[in-house]
Amino acid sequence: MRGRVLLAVTPTGYAPADDEARTQHAKLAVGDFVMGKVERPRSLPQFRLYWSVLHHVAESTHWESAERLHVALKVRLGLYDLCKLPNGKVVPVVNSAAFDAMNQDEFQTYMDKALAMLCEESLDGMAVADLIAEVCAATGVPVPERRVA
């Protein structure tokens, strides 16, 4: 895990949250300083909700698949690099939204923008909350609480 460990937030600070974190913590003495970067791990329920929304929208609109819609959203939101081919043509290469490519805060920002764009441009201005509720009702998944960034 390259020196990164999982910590749990407690009322008085942070505590090791798994065996690897406890092993690293045991090497420290009271009063030692460590450096860290606070980064929330990605939410698996949010990931599932995102793909459920994409499948729902693809099935009810002109998109041929959720995967194509995902690529289009990333391009539309500027999440790509330009690649020059040997023939001189320049094409977009979309950035990854994988768990190891975006942290939770980055994915939350991306998902907020993507769903707002979907509602505005493909769903006649439908409210994002209504889209999420519709997808959750169709899949039987409870409406998730929004994590505050």
Length of the chain as a residue count: 149
29's CB contacts (< 8 A; 6+ apart) are: none
What is d(CA 42, CA 31) in angstroms, rounded to the nearest whole number?
Answer: 31
Strand partners, 105: none
What is d(CA 44, CA 47) in angstroms, rounded to the nearest whole number?
Answer: 5
Tens-digit pLDDT profile for residues 120-148: 999 999 999 999 999 999 988 777 776 54
pLDDT at 107: 94
Region of 4 (left: φ > 0; alpha: ψ -120 to 50; beta: rest) is beta
Considering the entire predicted model, what is its pTM? Answer: 0.74
pLDDT at 2: 53
Q: Which amino acid is it at 80? A: Y
Q: Which residues of the chain have pLDDT under 50?
A: 1, 148-149
What is d(CA 140, CA 137) in angstroms, rounded to the nearest whole number?
Answer: 5
Element (H, E) at 50: helix 44-60
Backbone angles phi, psi at 102, to 5 degrees: -130, 130
The CA-atom distances, in angstroms, between 56 and each of 22, 65, 83, 84 are 42, 10, 31, 34
Q: Which amino acid is it at 90? A: V
What CATH architecture is 44-139? Orthogonal Bundle (1.10)
* CATH 1.10.3790.10 location in the chain: 44-139
